[in-house]
Amino acid sequence: MTARVLVVDDILSNVKLLEAKLTAEYFEVITAFNGEQALARVAAELPDIILLDVMMPGMDGFEVCRRIKSNPATAHIPVVMVTALDQPSDRVTGLEAGADDFLTKPVDDFSLFARVRSLVRLKMMTDELRMREETGQSMGLVDAGQTLIEPDPSGRVLIVEDRPEAVAWFRAGLEPKNVVEEVNTFDEALIRTRGGDFDLIVVSLGIKEFDSLRLCSHMRSIAEARNVPILVLVSESETRKLAQALDMGVNDYLMRPVDRNELLARVRTQLRKKHYADRLRHNVQLSLEMAITDQLTGLHNRRYMSRHLDTLMKGAVASGKPLSFLVMDIDFFKSVNDTHGHDIGDEVLREFANRISQNVRGIDLACRFGGEEFVVVMPDTDIGFAYNIAERLRMQVESDPFKISRAPGQLKVTVSIGMASSTGAADTAESLLHRADQALYRAKREGRNRVIAEAA
C-alpha cells in the first residue's frame, strides 16, 4: 500500500529520519518544518496521513491538529502525533484536538508502519464515500455532508470482556451518555454484532477463553458490522498482537492500564467518525435513489427505464415469455394546470402515480416518462393479462375522484392507455414502446378514457 505522508517537525534530522524510513517502504513523503507551513502543505497537497510533531516553536502540534480537524475539507485526514510526551494527559489533549493516534519518540519502525498502513486503509474507505457524495452534490442531488467534527457524540457500545470488574469500570465511564451492552463469549459476541446496530465495539485482547483476534476477524466479515469501528484493549507486551489487529481492520486501541479520560477521548473520536461515515453513506444512497427516481411522483424516471429496457427485452427473448408495455396519459391534463394551477397539477400527478403503484405488481417497472405520460413495463405478461390490469386502473381512476387541496376539493380525472406485447425475437424495446405509443394515440382519437391494445 502506498500513500502520501506529510511529515511535520521543526528539527531537520527528525524529518529526514522519518522521510528515509517511509520512502524505503514506498510511501511518498512531503515535509513541513513549522505549523504555518504544515497547514499550507495540507491545503495544497491533501496528504493521506500526517505525522505531526507536538513541540514546535510558534504554533504547536496540538493547535495545528485543531485547525486541520476543524476544516471540513481536511477533517477526514488522519493525524498521528509524534512526540516525546508520554503522559496520559498529553494523549488526551491530542485526542481532544482531533488526533487519531500517538507515536512516542524514538519511533519504533514496527509501530510506525502498522499504524500508518491501518489509518491510510481506513481513510481510503472514507475517501471513496466522499467522492461518491461529491458526485451527488455536483449533480444537485444532495447537499454537502456535515463536517467530521461533532462536539459531543454518543452511541451504542458493545463491550467484549470476560472480567466483570473491567466491564463495570467501562460502564461507569461511558454511561449514561452511551448505551452500553456486554458479552463475554465468542458466539454471543457474533450474535449481538449481527443484530445489535452498534456504533462501537470494544474488544479485550486479553480474554482467556477464546482468541479475541479471531473474533475481530469474524466481525470484519459480518455485513452488519463491517462499518462499525472496533477498539481493542491491549497490554504493552502485546505489540505484535496489536499490529495484527490493526492489519485486519481494527480502528483504534487502548493500552492497559487505561486512563479514563483517554478512554472517553478515543470513544468520542470513533463515534464521530462512525456518524460521519454513516452520513456519507446515507447521502450516497440518497443520490443513487434520486438519480433514478422522479422526484415528484416517486416512480422511476425515464433515464432508469431506458437503461433497463434492453435487459428486460433480452430476458423475455431468452425465456420465451411475453413482455407487455402500458403507455398512459392523463386526459386533458393541460386544462387542470390552466384552471387550477401547476401545484394542483402536481397533486394530480402524484395521486395518479400512487394509483399506478397500487395496481401493478412488484416485478413491474413503473416510470414517469415525462409530463403527464407514464409507462409500465410488465415482464412475463401477455396482452390479455396486461389488458385486465390496465382496465382495472382506468376504471379506478374514472370512478374515484382525485382529492385536491383547494376548492372544489376533488377533480374528476380519466386516463387513456395504449398497450403492446412482444411477439418474438425480432422485437426491440424501441419498437414495442412505439407500438404502445401508437395505441395510446388511437385511444385518444377514439374519445379518451379507454384502453387500446395493439399487438403489432
- Residue 372 annotated to the active site: yes
- 239-247 and 212-221 helices cross at what angle (nearest 10)? 10
Distances in Å between the Cα of 348 and the Cα atoms of 298, 332, 389, 399, 444 are 13, 12, 21, 15, 19
Of 390, 393, 382, nearest to 354 (Cα)?
Answer: 393
Of 12, 205, 247, 222, nearest to 116 (Cα)?
Answer: 247
Measured from the Cβ of residue 242, the count of other Cβ atoms closer than 10 Å reads 23
Chunk the chain into consecutive blocks of 10 residues (it has 456) and report each block's average pLDDT, rounded to whole numbers. Answer: 89 93 93 96 94 93 93 88 80 86 82 84 72 55 54 90 94 93 95 90 94 93 89 88 88 88 88 85 73 87 82 80 92 93 95 93 89 92 92 95 93 95 81 91 94 76
Asked whether 355 and 396 are in contact (CB, 8 A), the reply is yes
Question: In this predicted structure, what is the pLDDT of residue 456?
Answer: 46
Q: Which amino acid is at 215?
A: L
Which residues are bridge partners to 451 per DSSP? 417
Catalytic residue among 161, 262, 347, 372: 372
- Measured between its terminal Cα atoms, the distance across the chain in Å is 59
Question: pTM for this one?
Answer: 0.64
Of 116, 112, 142, 118, nearest to 130 (Cα)?
Answer: 142
Asked whether 357 and 312 are in contact (CB, 8 A), the reply is no
Of 248, 254, 209, 207, nearest to 232 (Cα)?
Answer: 254
* Distance from C-alpha of 23 to C-alpha of 30, rounded to nearest angstrom: 10
Catalogue all structural domains in the chain, each as residue range(s) with its CATH number: 1-107 (3.40.50.2300), 121-288 (3.40.50.2300), 302-453 (3.30.70.270)
Question: In this predicted structure, what is the pLDDT of residue 141?
Answer: 45
Asked whether 225 and 201 are in contact (CB, 8 A), the reply is yes
* Distance from C-alpha of 60 to C-alpha of 67, rounded to nearest angstrom: 11
